Amino acid sequence: MGKGNGKSEAPNLDLGHELPAADGGEETSTAAAASPATAASEVETLKAERDALYDRLARLQAEFDNARKRAVREQQEFREFAAADVIKGMLPALDSFERALKASAGNSSEFRSGIELIYRQFQDALQKAGVQPIAAAGQPFDPRVHEAIEMVDTTEVPDHHVIDELQRGYKFKDRLLRPSMVRVARNHRN
């Protein structure tokens, strides 16, 4: 590293601070330290650089905060859009209910077929949304998806199997929405 010729191994660096040299990268560090005016100039340069970095930091923090707020807003909009899509799928069933209520009550077979149609429409809408009913009747009792309301002494059904489903349970994409309310068989062995 020959300082006498004004060259160093990193020719464009101020070796005293390891930063790019200010004007004229050929100046030596001894010459910069020798002049008080140069030292004051270097302090002013460092203060300006510090101020620029503080300003940059403040801008980056503001950009990050804005991006976070935008992501929260977009998530909320997505939830509302998804809910609107599910509700839109249930509107045909609501229309059928309105038609059934306007129909004459004199013909019970038509009324029953209308209610069955509505039931199928609701099942289809829920299935399209990703909702599946939980199998219960005749299945072994599973506390993760079944809620036992009553234990019934019987020998007609195997022990700890579901006898009767009182309220159907549902899953949404492998996530439990509501457990099935069931009666469970209990076999006493003497």
**In CATH, what number is assigned to the domain containing residue 161?**
2.30.22.10
What pLDDT does residue 98 have? 73
Is the residue at 155 inside a domain? yes
- Which pairs count as long-range contacts for 92-99, CB under 8 Å and 24+ apart, including other chains? 92/121, 92/125, 93/118, 93/121, 93/122, 93/125, 96/121
Is the residue at 57 inside a domain? no
CB of 89 closer than 8 Å to CB of 125? yes
Q: Which of 18-27, 148-157, 178-187 has the lowest mean pLDDT?
A: 18-27
CB of 50 closer than 8 Å to CB of 30? no
Is the residue at 25 inside a domain? no
Is the residue at 190 inside a domain? yes
List beta partners, residue 164: 183
Query: Burial, 132: exposed, middle or buried (Cβ in 10 Å; 0-12, 13-18, 19+)?
Result: middle
Site of tokens 């069931």: 182
Domains contained in the chain, number: 1
What pLDDT does residue 83 have? 75
Is the residue at 12 inside a domain? no
CB of 117 closer than 8 Å to CB of 151? no
Print the domain residue range for 168: 131-190
Is the residue at 147 inside a domain? yes
Residue 104: alpha-carbon gap to chain centroid: 48
Is the residue at 157 inside a domain? yes
Q: What angle do CA 130, 88, 93 make, to 5 degrees?
A: 85
Six token digits for residue 119: 């039931």
List beta partners, residue 161: 140
What pLDDT does residue 66 have? 93
Distance CA 151, CA 162 (A): 9
pTM: 0.51
Element (H, E) at 165: strand 162-167
Mean local confidence (pLDDT), 68-87: 84
Of residues 24 and 158, the one with the higher pLDDT is: 158
Tell me the per-residue pLDDT of 21-40, one tens digit each, with 9 for 90 and over. 555 544 455 544 557 788 88
Is the residue at 88 inside a domain? no
